[in-house]
A and B are shown apart, each in its own frame.
Chain A
Amino acid sequence: MKSKAIGKEYPPVSYEVTREMILAYSHAVDETSPYFTDKEAEVLYAPHTLVGAYTLLLMPYVVADKELGLDITKRILHVHQEYEWKRTAVAGDVLTIRGRIADINERDERKFIVFEGDIVDARGEQVVVARSTLMVG
């Protein structure tokens, strides 16, 4: 039986990609390229995975979603990831995440939930699409 939660959209979440955020992220992932680490650069690019990682800003909605029923005390593993970039985010971008549940399926008593985040800039133009599959159980 297909879950009713498939296709559900979460309220959009916006945030600014700041220089501090990029530099801290680059430090945490040991990024070495000056595109992502040069404090003095006129244009400071966000490491490619940063924008995807910040789709976790949607987690409070996801965790509170009774229809989805995600039990965070259980074993939850990130098993698959897809990114498609139109361009790389830069410091100063104000991004909006439009998140939805793209699919839910069950195999071997495990549930696989696919979240899709469509991330757009302040002009409404797409920056990246991120799809994350979590395995529960």
Chain B
Amino acid sequence: MIKSDVRAGFELPPVTHQVTRSNIVRYGRLVTGFNPLHDDDEFAQELGFEKIVAHGVLHLNYISEMLCCYAGHPNRVKKIYIDFVKAVYPGDVITARGVVREVREEGAAMRIVIDVWSENQDGVRVIDKGTAEIEAG
């Protein structure tokens, strides 16, 4: 982490990935799937969605990836609180973003509080009202 990057208003380098159907299938195989919303197009459509919906935590990882890159080490990422506000579909291109809200000194360390969110290819937020905290030495 570069010192000049640790200040309120600093925009973290964003992280962008396309969520493919293959990502969703692979993710669903790893974690005990119980919700057909993630693998059954017909079921998803009956509930009013266009097609299967990506697991929220799958693309939430784009936010933790962004935070970890900024922090410089996995153990410095301390907290993420977020709302999932919109469905992510196969093919969507999701960008995780963050802006430093506050830098606090806590003893010898620093606590960096960051506003985080994600948006799709149309600029519509899919994760919103996020707060993250990382520690810097």
Contacts and interface: CB of A to CB of B under 8 A. Distances in A.
Interface of A: 21, 24-25, 27-33, 35-36, 45, 47-49, 52-54, 56-57, 59-60, 63, 72, 75-85, 87-88
Contacts of B32: 56-57, 59-60
B23 A81 contact: no
Interface in B72-94: 73-75, 77-85
B78 A30 contact: no
B3 interface: no
A87 B74 CA distance: 8
16 contacts: A35-B73, A36-B74, A47-B65, A52-B57, A53-B55, A53-B57, A56-B34, A60-B32, A78-B57, A81-B56, A81-B60, A81-B80, A82-B79, A82-B82, A85-B77, A88-B77
B98 to A, nearest CB: 14
Contacts of B30: 21, 24-25, 28, 53
B80 A48 contact: yes
A33 B85 CA distance: 27
A36 B82 CA distance: 22
Interface string B24-35: 001100111011
Contact of B65 (A33, A53, A79, A80): A33
A79 B56 CA distance: 8
A33 B69 contact: yes
A28 B23 contact: yes
Contact of B79 (A30, A49, A76, A83): A83
B45 interface: no
